[in-house]
Amino acid sequence: MAAIQEKAPNAEYYALRVFHSALRTRVEYLLEALEWCLQNRIDIANLSLGTANPAHEPLFEEFLAKADFTIVAAAGSLPGSLNGVLGVDVDPECDRNSYRWHDERFMASGYPRPIPGVPPERNLQGVSFAVANLSGFAARLGKSPPAELKRLLISQAS
């Protein structure tokens, strides 16, 4: 959340729990969280997670047909690889203050904010941070319908 707040400090934030005793969850819990976002008129959902299980695709497609908010997720998994979701991948060449649009996906830095005295390669890193970084850029732009927000992000990409 800190990576998002760094870019959009005045936005409102909500953390929804989808993990319980391990860093894995059931698709039903994720869909319940997305339903909560829909019911509570959330503008952007940051999903620093995903699934490679193709059996879940119809469930996500059904949800996306009614979703009226922006979902940002890892491009190489579900739901990040679906139309209507802002898919994000890691770009090691991107600094944390920029992002790119390439091959129908966003590319962003996979690093969190720096820790003084710790080299970046010794810190946590990966697609979850790329998703969070792009979510911050999206939140900075303010409330817009998903297609308009995507168009704005593409127009401002490096």
Domain residue spans of the chain: 2-8+25-114+121-156
Predicted confidence at residue 118, as pLDDT, reads 84
Contact of 29 with 158, CB cutoff 8 Å:
no
Predicted confidence at residue 133, as pLDDT, reads 96
Q: How far apart are CA 132 and CA 145, in angstroms?
A: 19
Contact of 90 with 74, CB cutoff 8 Å:
no
pTM for the model stands at: 0.92
Mean pLDDT, 10 residues at a time, over the chain (158 residues)?
A: 92 91 88 97 94 96 96 96 96 94 96 83 86 96 94 96
Longest CA span, the chain: 47
Distance separating the N- and C-terminal Cα atoms of the chain: 23
Neighbouring CB atoms inside 10 A of 117's CB total 6
Neighbouring CB atoms inside 10 A of 32's CB total 13
Q: What is the second-level CATH architecture of the domain 2-8+25-114+121-156?
A: 3-Layer(aba) Sandwich (3.40)
Strand-pair partners of 108: 90, 99
Predicted confidence at residue 7, as pLDDT, reads 94
φ and ψ at 51, to 5 degrees? -135, 150
Question: Three-class SS of residue 81?
Answer: coil
C-alpha distance from residue 116 to each of 4, 42, 92, 123 (Å): 19, 34, 20, 11
Predicted confidence at residue 137, as pLDDT, reads 97
Output DSSP code: residue 53.
-
Output DSSP code: residue 73.
E
